[in-house]
Amino acid sequence: MAGKPPFLSTCSLQRSLLTLAFLTLISFTFLSLRSLRSPPQYASDLSSSSKSSPGVLLGGYPGAGDASDLPSWSSIYNSPEVFRRNYAEMERKFKVFIYPDGDPNTYYQTPRKLTGKYASEGYFFQNIRESRFLTDDPDQADLFFIPISPHKMRGKGISYENMTMIVQNYVEGLISKYPYWNRTLGADHFVVTCHDVGVRAFEGLPFLIKNSIRVVCSPSYDVGYIPHKDVALPQVLQPFALPAGGNDIENRTILGFWAGHRNSKIRVTLARVWENDTELSISNNRISRAIGELVYQKQFYRTKFCICPGGSQVNSARIADSIHYGCIPVILSNYYDLPFNDILDWHKFSLVLKESDVYQLKSILKTVSHEEFIALHKSLVEVQKHFEWHSPPVPYDAFHMVMYELWLRHHVIKY
């Protein structure tokens, strides 16, 4: 039988190759679409998988919290999956060494108290010793805590000048006694202070201000605070006088509320412009206790938006009060690095304004629709857990959020 002409064989081969290429393209397209449709595994997926594997702990030890303890991974977080994974790794690995020097009965090691508007400093001093992050082996430490408390010095009536000298002598003593500071020039060391004077107390140590991590309640860009290095400590007045608010939108009939001392330019302007307004409850003085029991705190329950202007510093305990009582905080302070800004999307549960916006304050509040307010309020209730202190600390509370911020910063330190 005569063979096929050469050109027919060539055409047949070309058709076969085209068919194979077409089938390959279809297969890749199908697989790509399938991968795009597969959702990422978030907390809900982890919760179901953890139930089929009892005994598996997220943090690697009892008390760290399993997947069912995880917060809902909503839009309140900048990067929910990154936070979830890093938090779990932090719980397993992060270690902090506390220098043992200093008499706890003076200015070192222990908190002054766990109450008042500077309680955040005290809680950190207490929580770090109650946590699993503590190590007695400095060779295992990721970071080193310098346990000197400006709040305790302030409580003992130490003047600013003497406070600066005490801090300087203490830190320089640690540097000369131990080898750890000189490995990084203090980049893996941190201090914690909430009192306003605490930031000034370290002014005699410019190399600490430049290199070390400062965890402070007054994180203002215009006073030497370095956002990518330092950490904003939330100022939380403890204890809260009343239970947490939330899921009570129908009770919130007042548009906006603020009452306090006029100890800053923005507060003076706020009171002058709005104190006589009929829709905003603005008072240029604290509410007198003679009016009634807990009138100030109860006003948070009845208000939609609570105005939080900076005082003597950019920060204010009123922000944490607003969050606790379910009132949307309106941040009215320039140059403020908000607490947990690396983790939380503040625009999802607050209004962040410039001080110059004070003149349009009411119109700005009124532009928020009812649906937008409901969304803000729902997110606000979700973040409440992150602005609470406990002893001992619990997962995802304020202490753990501060530790997470420190965990993020320790990764950039190499030696």
Dist. CA 130–CA 89, nearest whole Å: 19
Residue 403 lies in a domain: yes
Residue 224 lies in a domain: yes
Do residues 218 and 114 share a domain? Answer: yes
Dist. CA 158–CA 107, nearest whole Å: 10
Residue 187 lies in a domain: yes
Q: What percent of the chain has pLDDT over 90?
A: 62
Confidence of residue 286 (pLDDT cuts 50, 70, 90): low
Residue 19 lies in a domain: no
Taking only the tens place, the pLDDT of each residue in 400-411 is: 999 999 999 988
Predicted pLDDT of residue 154:
87
Choose from 187-201, 272-286, 378-392 the range with maximum mean pLDDT.
Answer: 378-392
The three-class DSSP label of residue 297 is helix
Would you give the distance in Å from CA 200 to the centre of its chain?
Answer: 23
Taking only the tens place, the pLDDT of each residue in 98-121 is: 999 999 989 999 988 899 989 999
Residue 75 lies in a domain: no
CATH number of the domain to which 357 belongs: 3.40.50.2000
Predicted pLDDT of residue 258:
94
Dist. CA 323–CA 350, nearest whole Å: 9
Burial 78-101 (b: 16+ CB within 10 A, else e): eebeebbebbbebbeebbbbbbee
Predicted pLDDT of residue 6:
46
Confidence of residue 219 (pLDDT cuts 50, 70, 90): confident
Helices assigned H by DSSP within 38-102: 43-51, 80-93
Do residues 183 and 295 share a domain? Answer: no
Q: Biggest alpha carbon distance in the chain?
A: 117
Helices assigned H by DSSP within 178-264: 180-184, 196-201, 206-211
Do residues 265 and 279 share a domain? Answer: yes
Look at the chain and report how many structural domains it folds into. Answer: 2
Do residues 324 and 404 share a domain? Answer: no
Do residues 229 and 103 share a domain? Answer: yes
Do residues 257 and 226 share a domain? Answer: no
Residue 89 lies in a domain: yes
Tokens read off for 365: 């509040």
Q: Which domain holds residue 268?
A: 249-387
Predicted pLDDT of residue 310:
84
Taking only the tens place, the pLDDT of each residue in 56-83 is: 233 333 344 444 455 555 689 999 999 9
- The angle at the Cα of 371, spanning 367 to 374, to the nearest 5 degrees, equals 105
Do residues 86 and 162 share a domain? Answer: yes
Predicted pLDDT of residue 376:
97
Do residues 209 and 275 share a domain? Answer: no
Do residues 405 and 335 share a domain? Answer: no
Residue 312 lies in a domain: yes
Do residues 224 and 286 share a domain? Answer: no
Do residues 383 and 397 share a domain? Answer: no
Do residues 227 and 254 share a domain? Answer: no
pTM over 0.85: no
Residue 38 lies in a domain: no
Taking only the tens place, the pLDDT of each residue in 325-373 is: 999 999 998 888 899 999 999 999 999 999 999 999 999 999 999 999 9
